[in-house]
């Protein structure tokens, strides 16, 4: 599974950090920082899907 994160679309909702803490963290201003880019380890695919499905700004995609 491939994870993409478009930082220019992030508005700091912090939903990805909550549902996918192994894949995202927040910077000092509360914007998301991706901890993994590209191929997602198989055990984190569930988190990747949740992160994509809960981003109100459509800044994250998770594609098989």
Contact between 30 and other proteins by CB under 8 A: the answer reads yes
Cβ neighbours for 45, distance < 8 A, ≥ 6 positions apart: 1, 62
Contact between 55 and other proteins by CB under 8 A: the answer reads yes
Q: Angle CA(11)–CA(13)–CA(15) in degrees, nearest 5?
A: 135
Contact between 53 and other proteins by CB under 8 A: the answer reads yes
Contact between 14 and other proteins by CB under 8 A: the answer reads yes
- Spatial distance between the Cα atoms of 30 and 2, rounded to a whole number of angstroms: 24
Name which of 40 and 52 has its Cβ closer to other proteins.
52
State which of residues 8, 28, 42, 43 lies at the interface with other proteins (CB under 8 A).
28
Provide the residue count of the chain.
64
Contact between 34 and other proteins by CB under 8 A: the answer reads no
């Amino acid at each position: 599974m491939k994870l993409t994160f478009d930082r220019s679309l992030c508005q700091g909702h912090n939903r990805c950090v909550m549902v996918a803490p192994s894949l995202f963290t927040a910077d000092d201003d509360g914007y998301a920082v991706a901890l993994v880019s590209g191929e997602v380890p198989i055990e984190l695919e569930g988190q990747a899907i949740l992160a994509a499905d809960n981003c109100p700004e459509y800044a994250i995609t998770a594609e098989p």
